[in-house]
Amino acid sequence: MYMKNEFGHIQAAHCENGVTTNLLRNIGVNKITEPLAFGIGSGLFFVYIPLLKINNGPAIAFRTMPGLIFKRTCASLGIEVIRKKFSSKETAEKFLMERLADGQPVGCQVGVYYLSYFPKEYRFHFNAHNLIVYGKEKDNFLISDPIMEAVTTLTTYELERVRFAKGALAPRGQIYYPKEGKIITDDQIRKAIKSGIKRNVRDMLSIPGNIAGVKGIRYTGKKIKKWRDKLGQQKAGLYLAQLVRMQEEIGTGGGGFRYIYAAFLQEAFAFHPYEEFLEISKVFTKAGDLWRNAAVQAAGIYKGRIGTQQDFNVMGDYLLEISEVEKNAFEALSNIKWHS
């Protein structure tokens, strides 16, 4: 079996942004960069689900639900998507092989626990990683994993294992790709940017409850101040370490995706020349910087260098400040007077 399809691999910060931009480029949509995909897909988010535990730590996310960025970006641009899940491994592989034979690279949702080219330290039971399969050579599937600098391979067995990882968000062999190439006009991108921003404003400012959006950041800040007494020094440190990992590990581009969003607003300016975008972009840079400063404070605690209640208060106050900064930024975005 020999099927080597050409594929222009482009590295990205985040896997889903990368799969989205790479698959779109493959069908001739060249203007969608990683920040544009992220912004059009309304990727920026925050949520802390106190009752849910992930790897014995808090469930915190800095971005929207896995899968939504691809879905929303394609929908906003009027690109039809094919998406399939499978109950049988054989059918899943057959479907994949048929697409590759057609020369169609496909996005695959996979679990990272058995992802052989990842270092062991990163292999947790996380099932919402995304990569592109673009060909097959002998027993090796050719893989473009957007977080990697270069393309890589997985054997048939290895690919099957990660496509059928089990547990929360089990991929069930999920494959997705844009149905066909289309000419995307600047006007469509302009509209997509507008709807992406409006949806992100809604998600961050008006989502009900107090655990998500800018209110969720505030809520988490208040909780953190209580972690020392409630959990004890060691476990509180572990929780903060998990917060930092969610914020900075693989693919956030730094500062919990806030820098990517700031980059998006700069790129959006090319399509909607409102000076406000450049100003608000700076506010998101500031938010990202504050998240990074908070991470340094957290590190002081989980390294055991500091750890008084006052240190936890400083940590919590960072999040209260960030909540305000992001609230102002999204309110400024919601006040934009759109001319088109």
Partner 1 sequence: MKKEDIPQDYGSLSKCTKEVCYAVDDTGKYVTELSTGWEVKATALSVAWKDIEERVAAAKQKVLNNEASPILYFMELRLMDVAIVSAYTGFWKWRISQHLSPEGFRKLPEKKLRKYAEAFNVSVEDLKTMHVHEE
Binding interface with partner 1 (CB under 8 A): 11-13, 35, 55-57, 113, 117-119, 121-122, 124-125, 147-150, 166-168, 170, 237-238, 240-242, 244-245, 248-251, 253-255, 259-260, 262-263, 266-267, 281-282, 285, 288-289, 292, 295-296, 298-299, 302-303
| CB nearer to partner 1: pick between 135 and 251 | 251
**148 vs 207 by CB, closer to partner 1:** 148
Q: At what angle do helices 186-205 and 213-231 cross, to 10 degrees?
A: 40
3-state secondary structure string across 233-279: HHHHHHHHHHHHHHHHCCCCCCCCCHHHHHHHHHHHHCCCCCHHHHH
Q: Taking a C-beta distance cutoff of 8 angstroms, is the pair 28, 142 a contact?
A: no
Which residues in 72-151 belong to E strands, given as ranges? 81-84, 106-110, 129-137, 140-144
Q: Which is nearer to partner 1, 165 or 204 (CB)?
A: 165
If the CB atoms of residues 207 and 276 are measured against partner 1, the closer one turns out to be 276
In the complex, least distance from residue 228 CB atom to partner 1, rounded to whole angstroms: 16
Closest separation in Å from C-beta 275 to partner 1:
13
Q: Measured in Å, how far apart are the chain's first and last C-alpha atoms?
A: 51
Nearer to partner 1, 13 or 69 (CB): 13
Q: How far is the CB of 146 from partner 1 (least distance, A)?
A: 9
CB of 248 to partner 1, least distance (A): 4
Give dist(CA 141, CA 164) in Å, integer.
16
**Helix and strand counts by DSSP (H, E) for the chain:** 11, 9
Q: Helix 275-302 crosses helix 233-248 at what angle (to 10 degrees)?
A: 150
Cα–Cα distance measured from residue 132 to residue 19, given in angstroms and rounded to the nearest whole number: 6
- d(C-alpha 182, C-alpha 142), whole Å: 26
The number of CA neighbours under 13 Å toward the Cβ of 153 is 11
**CA distances in angstroms from 69 to 61, 132, 197, 271, 274, listed in the order given:** 14, 15, 13, 20, 24
Using the minimum distance from each CB to partner 1, give the nearer residue, 3 or 299.
Answer: 299
Nearest approach, Cβ of residue 128 and partner 1 (Å)? 14
Q: Which residue has the tokens 């594929």?
A: 7
226: which 2 tokens?
């209580």
Minimum distance between the CB of residue 60 and partner 1, rounded to whole angstroms? 12
Nearer of residues 166 and 230 to partner 1, judged by Cβ: 166
Say how far apart CA 193 and CA 271 lie, in whole Å: 8
Shortest distance (Å) from residue 132 CB to partner 1 = 15
Nearer to partner 1, 267 or 321 (CB): 267
The distance of closest approach from Cβ of residue 253 to partner 1 in the complex, given in angstroms and rounded to an integer, is 4
In 3D space, the residue among 245, 111, 217 whose CA is nearest the CA of residue 170 turns out to be: 111
- Cβ closest to partner 1, residue 22 vs residue 285: 285
In angstroms, what is the minimal distance from the CB of 36 to partner 1? 12
Cα 335 from Cα 79, distance rounded (Å): 29
